[in-house]
């Protein structure tokens, strides 16, 4: 559980705030119930917007082994980073990110969960980093295409067979990990994503349309090859 320490408020004695922050951190490490208690406690010692920063990052990793979605509706409006990786989630509600009401969410890790990609992910307009590795996805999740500010995307270790040509709408994408999927071809349109896309990982796919020497030269060589195949 990672917790971001807030700046001290000028309206509360520093000693009281520091004590409150320490107790909040201890509560937060205990899991989602602890997060709720920590939020309630922090309100007594950290004023206004600053109090929420103590809970801006939450990790609910596989050590808790939760089977249900762990965050109640409206629980963390200032959440910036969330990890539920390696939890055997049976289901992620379609409206999980709508009811969570976290417009500040910028980093999400759902890796190694089996609850699927919720439709409400499209509402995370500030999302910059997304990890959907090891989720047994058979198709490229179309919800991702709505995240126009996305910079890092991990779709490794799935069963994805193709990448849509409209992937070019992710104009801010810098890193994309597609290793260990079932991809045999890439859309030529991806050639238009360079040079901003500076890391494209493709190992573990049966890419028949791109020769091995080109793949060995790395991302920009692959993007240039695809760009040259576009109709003139």
Q: Which tens digits make up the pLDDT trace of 91-100?
A: 788 888 887 7
Instruction: Give yes or no for residue 36 having a pLDDT over 60.
Output: no
Residue 62's pLDDT band (boundaries 50, 70, 90)? low
Instruction: Give yes or no for residue 221 having a pLDDT over 80.
Output: yes
Per-residue pLDDT of 178-213, as tens digits, reads: 999 999 999 999 999 999 999 999 999 999 889 999
Sequence-distant (≥ 6) Cβ neighbours of residue 58 within 8 angstroms: 1, 2, 28, 35, 76, 79, 81, 82, 83
Residue 103's pLDDT band (boundaries 50, 70, 90)? confident
Residue 3's pLDDT band (boundaries 50, 70, 90)? very low
Instruction: Give yes or no for residue 30 having a pLDDT over 50.
Output: no
Instruction: Give yes or no for residue 64 having a pLDDT over 60.
Output: no
Residue 228's pLDDT band (boundaries 50, 70, 90)? very high
Instruction: Give yes or no for residue 23 having a pLDDT over 60.
Output: no
Average confidence score pLDDT of the chain: 78
Per-residue pLDDT, averaged over 75-82, amounts to 80
Instruction: Give yes or no for residue 130 having a pLDDT over 90.
Output: yes
Per-residue pLDDT of 134-193, as tens digits, reads: 999 999 999 999 999 999 999 999 999 999 999 999 999 999 999 999 999 999 999 999
């Amino acid at each position: 559980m990672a917790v971001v320490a807030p700046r001290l408020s000028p309206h509360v004695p520093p000693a009281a705030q520091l004590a409150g922050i320490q107790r909040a951190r201890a509560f937060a490490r205990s899991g989602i119930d602890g997060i709720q208690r920590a939020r309630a406690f922090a309100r007594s010692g950290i004023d206004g917007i600053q109090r929420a920063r103590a809970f801006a990052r939450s990790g609910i990793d596989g050590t808790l082994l939760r089977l249900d979605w762990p965050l109640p509706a409206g629980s963390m409006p200032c959440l910036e980073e969330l990890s539920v990786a390696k939890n055997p989630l049976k289901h992620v509600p379609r409206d999980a990110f709508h009811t969570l009401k976290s417009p500040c969410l910028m980093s999400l890790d759902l890796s190694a969960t089996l609850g699927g990609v919720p439709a409400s992910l499209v509402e995370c307009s500030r999302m910059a980093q997304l990890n959907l590795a090891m989720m047994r996805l058979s198709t490229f999740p179309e919800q991702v295409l709505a995240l126009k500010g996305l910079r890092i995307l991990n779709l490794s270790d799935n069963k994805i067979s193709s990448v849509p040509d409209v992937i070019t709408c992710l104009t801010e994408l810098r890193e994309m990990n597609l290793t260990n999927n079932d991809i045999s071809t890439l859309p030529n349109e991806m050639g238009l994503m360079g040079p901003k896309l500076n890391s494209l990982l493709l190992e573990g796919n049966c890419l028949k349309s791109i020769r091995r020497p080109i793949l060995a030269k790395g991302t920009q060589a692959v993007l240039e090859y695809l760009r040259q195949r576009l109709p003139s």
